[in-house]
Amino acid sequence: MSFTSKFLKGEIGPDDYVGKTFDLIKKKDSEIRAFITLRKEEEVLQEVKERIKQGGKLAGVLLAVKDNISTAGIRTTCASRMLEDYVPPYNATVINKVLKEGAVIIGKTNMDEFAMGSTTETSYFGPTRNPWNLERTPGGSSGGSAASIAAGYVNLALGSDTGGSIRAPASFNGVYGLKPSYGTVSRFGLVAYANSLEQIGPIAGNAEHLSTLFSIIAGEDPKDATTINYSAEETAPIPLKGLRVGVISNIMESSDKEIVSSIKNAINKMSDEGAIIEETELKNVELALPSYYVIAMSEASSNLARFDGVRYGFSRYSEGNWKETFSKNRGEGFGLEVKRRILLGSFILSAGYYDQYYIRALKARNLIKRNMDSLFSKYDILVSPTMPVLPPKIGEVIDDPIKMYAIDLNTVLANLTAIPAISLPVGFASGLPVGMQIMGRYLSDTFLLGISRFMEQLTGLHDLVA
Ligand code: GLN
């Protein structure tokens, strides 16, 4: 059982809770490297004690936070040299919400630089290692958040998901992660990568904590005009009887065999519980990755223009004209993958190419949305593997961007279409966790959480620590 679960059950007090957690981090994190910034133990302990008095749904609970979510007074680097020394003067809305419920931020977690990547290897601070197998990546981009749960440090964390960055690491670490419906969670204070695709979301060791954390962070925010009037209650397990489940066969086919057999196993268990299982096909699925990457890179190139060493970010050079200054600061402040995306994004949006790439990508996005809608007229949920492969070895995909982009096929669908998607552990293959993705209709987030709570009882796979 995680320290957090023991603490919540009253089996250990605050001194033990914080002490054991920091001991474990000291023991394991020089290798795993889930954190970019870890707060001081004394400071955290004092805060835990204060928050217990204050009360709330997470009174005194330790929370790990991805390093692209602004935390007042705590360095927020986006795993980039560009923001190596940046300390935000304000909190993201989600941070204010979790603090109000008594949570204590233990530290900021490693990620791909500006959330661009699928393995946490593009970080300026070096890769995080997968606690289940130190030669493997933890997935990304919220790799540090998911690894901090699998390593047993914490049981709740925040991540962000633009094209799979919560679900990929959730899958690779044997934990639960939700990419919420677009507009349900405020993005105020999230350092933007691709605004039209991303959401902040919860990651947890079990579906109950996932549901609690989502209920806290969800809701309309006057500071983010894309949020909607929405409130999420904590969800009880929802039995599967009569549930219409579509299994996306053309996605299953393109996944590794051992993953497929693990997923089929879980599907059989669902069927035993009375779910109605049917194989189905998602049309035009081959358009998903190209349209995702065209849109994501376009938005990224625009969002990252502000980091020039004058307005924001790494600022070593000020001589010469503005062009020379900007390009020197940007040249040294950004890593390779980020530069690749800024260049491609600027190219895509330039006169003459805009129609050919950007507009066509938006059309493809619409088409996929229509195809998804038609599946949801027949099925309550759609299932597939979260990731088509087991966690890549460190160094395996990082030098081959096309290979890295390709493993996002199953996850980008939910971001392109604004719907909620959960990854939950359903088994192991070659000693590594396998995650199943469940997608649902727009705003069915709490329904998916209820199903996940039922599934965690069915599989017995929760609070797994490597
Ligand atoms: N791997 C995808 C990308 O690099 C998704 C990243 C994310 O969700 N932030 O764009």
Considering 28, 66, 97, 108, which one is annotated as catalytic? Answer: 66
The per-residue pLDDT for 319 is 84
Q: Whose CA is nearest to atom 10 of ligand 1?
A: 116
The per-residue pLDDT for 86 is 97
Residue-wise pLDDT for 69-86, tens only, equals: 999 999 999 999 999 999
The per-residue pLDDT for 156 is 98
Compute, in angstroms, the gap from residue 104 CA to the centroid of ligand 1: 27
Which residue of 66, 165, 178, 413 sits with most ligand 1 atoms within 8 Å of its CB, as the best mutation to test the pocket?
A: 165
DSSP 239: -
Compute, in angstroms, the gap from residue 423 CA to the centroid of ligand 1: 15
The per-residue pLDDT for 193 is 98
Q: How sure is the predictor about 316, in pLDDT bands with cuts at 50, 70 and 90?
A: confident
Extract the tokens encoding 165: 């960055």
DSSP result, 274-313:
T-EEEEE--TTGGGHHHHHHHHHHHHHHHHGGGBSSSSBS
Which residue of 109, 145, 339, 408 sits with most ligand 1 atoms within 8 Å of its CB, as the best mutation to test the pocket?
A: 408
Average pLDDT of span 346-368: 96
User: Does residue 38 contact residue 25 with C-beta atoms inside 8 Å?
Assistant: yes
| CA–CA distance, 198 with 163 (Å, rounded to integer) | 7
Extract the tokens encoding 309: 């060493």
pTM of the model: 0.98
Give the Cα-Cα-Cα angle 222, 211, 56 (nearest 5 degrees): 70
Share of the chain above pLDDT 90, in %: 97
The per-residue pLDDT for 347 is 97
Residue-wise pLDDT for 404-463, tens only, equals: 999 999 999 999 999 999 999 999 999 999 999 999 999 999 999 999 999 999 999 999
Q: Which atom of ligand 1 is nearest to the CA of 164?
A: 8
At residue 278, φ and ψ (nearest 5 deg) are: -145, 140
Considering 70, 123, 165, 423, which one is annotated as catalytic? Answer: 165
Burial class (CB in 10 A: 0-12, 13-18, 19+), 13: middle
Q: Which residues pair with 64 in a beta bridge?
A: 107, 157
The per-residue pLDDT for 1 is 84
Average pLDDT of span 147-165: 98
* Other CB atoms within 10 Å distance of the CB of residue 223: 12
118 lines ligand 1 (CB under 6 A): yes
Residue-wise pLDDT for 157-190, tens only, equals: 999 999 999 999 999 999 999 999 999 999 999 9
Does the pLDDT at position 199 exceed 90?
yes
Compute, in angstroms, the gap from residue 304 CA to the centroid of ligand 1: 15
The per-residue pLDDT for 256 is 96
Q: Which has the closest alpha carbon to 78: 134, 170, 11, 140? A: 140
Does the pLDDT at position 318 exceed 90?
no
DSSP 450: H
Q: What is the dihedral of CA 262, 210, 456, 6, to 10 degrees?
A: 120
4 sits in which H/E element: helix 3-8
Cα 85 → chain centroid: 24
User: Which residue bears the tokens 């996944």?
Assistant: 255
E-only strand ranges, 143-206: 156-161, 176-179, 199-204
Q: Which has the closest alpha carbon to 281: 414, 167, 371? A: 371
DSSP 350: S
Extract the tokens encoding 267: 């599907």
User: Does residue 226 contact residue 187 with C-beta atoms inside 8 Å?
Assistant: yes
235 lines ligand 1 (CB under 6 A): no
Compute, in angstroms, the gap from residue 242 CA to the centroid of ligand 1: 35
- Provide the 3-class DSSP secondary structure of residue 136: strand
**Where do runs of H (alpha helix) occur along 218-359?**
249-253, 257-272, 288-303, 322-333, 336-348, 354
At residue 15, φ and ψ (nearest 5 deg) are: -65, -45
Compute, in angstroms, the gap from residue 170 CA to the centroid of ligand 1: 14
Residue-wise pLDDT for 225-273, tens only, equals: 999 999 999 999 999 999 999 999 999 999 999 999 999 999 999 999 9
Active site residue 66: yes
Q: Which atom of ligand 1 is nearest to the CA of 404?
A: 1
Extract the tokens encoding 356: 């050919």
Q: How sure is the predictor about 322, in pLDDT bands with cuts at 50, 70 and 90?
A: confident
Share of the chain above pLDDT 70, in %: 100
User: Does residue 333 contact residue 317 with C-beta atoms inside 8 Å?
Assistant: no
Extract the tokens encoding 45: 């302990």
Q: Whose CA is nearest to atom 5 of ligand 1?
A: 163
Q: Which residues pair with 351 in a beta bridge?
A: none
Write down the mean pLDDT value for the chain.
Answer: 97
Q: How sure is the predictor about 320, in pLDDT bands with cuts at 50, 70 and 90?
A: confident
| CA–CA distance, 231 with 75 (Å, rounded to integer) | 30
Domain architecture of the chain: domains with CATH: 3-240+422-459 (3.90.1300.10)
At residue 69, φ and ψ (nearest 5 deg) are: -110, 120
Q: Which has the closest alpha carbon to 116: 398, 316, 370? A: 398
164 lines ligand 1 (CB under 6 A): yes
Average pLDDT of span 271-283: 98
* Identity of residue 205: G
Active site residue 6: no
Compute, in angstroms, the gap from residue 405 CA to the centroid of ligand 1: 8
